[in-house]
């Protein structure tokens, strides 16, 4: 195994992708749509990585089994009904390609060929990628006006706004006041989506999560900053 390949394939666990983090002090495993991701401290050796995987094998198998149980199969009838993003999966006869159709109520119908093998993992991964791309496009039109509104209300300015496909965080703010928001915010209830936006706007003034930051958050969330922080833990940045 070569760490420079950025992944290995294990007969039991499948593909394990590597992510090296110079600030990491220990090995961390996360579940992604593609399988397991392993965060490695800088300077990790092949021997150490294999030992950690073998030591953690029972826990990793449970993680993967839980993922399979939780995973909702994207198939005909699958739908997302959110305030700013509506989508449904249907099938169609004819050419062997996926068709994106917009509805009158600004929703999206994803038409898949009748021959689509929805139970295959590569098809599931493809459909998720298509849906995420559609979410990015929608977020590009939905997020800017809301951010402008909140920026004016809070009197907190930012320089630029970007839309990401991030699975690990809902948003981020740089020291240059560049705010990035995950397209997965579209899947949150409206009040939580706005609370994330306010959170990043507050970082334009307070870059850390100290007392001053939370006081600022409370000012713009009717003193519900910590309550909102706990509520959002029930949601994940993924389909």
Nearest to 200 by CA among 163, 237, 239: 163
Q: 98 with 158, same domain?
A: no
The CATH number for 210's domain is: 3.30.2010.10
* Predicted TM-score (pTM) above 0.95: no
Q: 51 with 125, same domain?
A: no
Asked if residue 97 belongs to a domain, the reply is: yes
Asked if residue 239 belongs to a domain, the reply is: no
Asked if residue 237 belongs to a domain, the reply is: no
Asked if residue 154 belongs to a domain, the reply is: yes
Give the per-residue pLDDT at 2.
45
Number of structural domains (the chain) is: 3
Q: 127 with 176, same domain?
A: no
Q: Which domain holds residue 145?
A: 138-232
- For residue 180, is pLDDT > 60? yes
Residue with tokens 């950025």: 6
Per the prediction, the chain carries an average pLDDT of 89
Asked if residue 63 belongs to a domain, the reply is: yes
Check: CB of residue 173 under 8 Å from CB of residue 196.
no
- For residue 62, is pLDDT > 50? yes
Q: 218 with 144, same domain?
A: yes
Domain boundary, last residue among 109, 135, 161: 135
Asked if residue 22 belongs to a domain, the reply is: yes
Highest-confidence range of 7-21, 54-68, 114-128, 200-214, by mean pLDDT?
200-214
Q: Which residue has the higher pLDDT, 200 or 22?
A: 200
Nearest to 192 by CA among 105, 83, 40: 83
Confidence band (pLDDT; 50, 70, 90) for 181?
very high
Q: 130 with 142, same domain?
A: no
Q: 85 with 43, same domain?
A: no
The residue-averaged pLDDT of 169-176 equals 93
Q: 17 with 53, same domain?
A: yes
Q: Which residue has the higher pLDDT, 28 or 202?
A: 202
Asked if residue 238 belongs to a domain, the reply is: no
Buried b (16+ CB within 10 A) or exposed e, 84-115: bbbbbbeeeeeeeeeeeeeeeeeebbbbbeee
Q: 36 with 85, same domain?
A: no
Asked if residue 31 belongs to a domain, the reply is: yes
Q: 142 with 177, same domain?
A: yes
Q: 222 with 153, same domain?
A: yes
- For residue 70, is pLDDT > 60? no
Q: 145 with 130, same domain?
A: no
pLDDT digits (tens, 9 = 90+) for 77-135: 999 999 999 999 999 987 788 888 888 788 999 999 999 999 888 888 899 999 999 99
Domain boundary, last residue among 135, 154, 177: 135
């Amino acid at each position: 195994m070569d760490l420079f390949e950025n992944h290995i394939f294990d007969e039991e666990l499948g593909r394990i992708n590597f992510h090296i983090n110079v600030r990491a002090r220990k090995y961390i495993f996360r579940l992604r749509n593609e399988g397991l991701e392993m965060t490695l401290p800088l300077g990790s050796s092949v021997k150490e990585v294999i030992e950690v995987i073998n030591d953690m094998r029972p826990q990793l198998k449970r993680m993967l089994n839980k993922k399979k149980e939780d995973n909702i199969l994207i198939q005909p009838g699958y739908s997302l009904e959110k305030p700013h993003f509506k989508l449904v999966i249907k099938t169609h006869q004819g050419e062997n390609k996926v068709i994106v159709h917009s509805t009158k109520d600004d929703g999206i119908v994803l038409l898949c060929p009748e021959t689509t093998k929805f139970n295959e993992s590569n098809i599931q991964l493809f459909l998720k990628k298509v849906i995420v791309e559609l979410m990015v496009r929608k977020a590009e039109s939905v997020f800017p006006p809301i951010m402008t509104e909140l920026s004016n209300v809070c009197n907190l300015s930012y320089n630029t706004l970007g839309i990401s496909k991030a699975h690990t965080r809902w948003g981020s703010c740089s020291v240059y006041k560049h705010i990035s928001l995950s397209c997965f915010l579209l899947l949150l209830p409206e009040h939580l989506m706005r609370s994330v936006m306010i959170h990043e706007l507050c970082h334009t003034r307070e870059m850390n999560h100290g007392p001053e930051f939370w006081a600022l958050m409370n000012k713009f969330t009717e003193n519900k900053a910590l309550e909102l922080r706990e509520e959002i833990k029930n949601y994940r940045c993924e389909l």
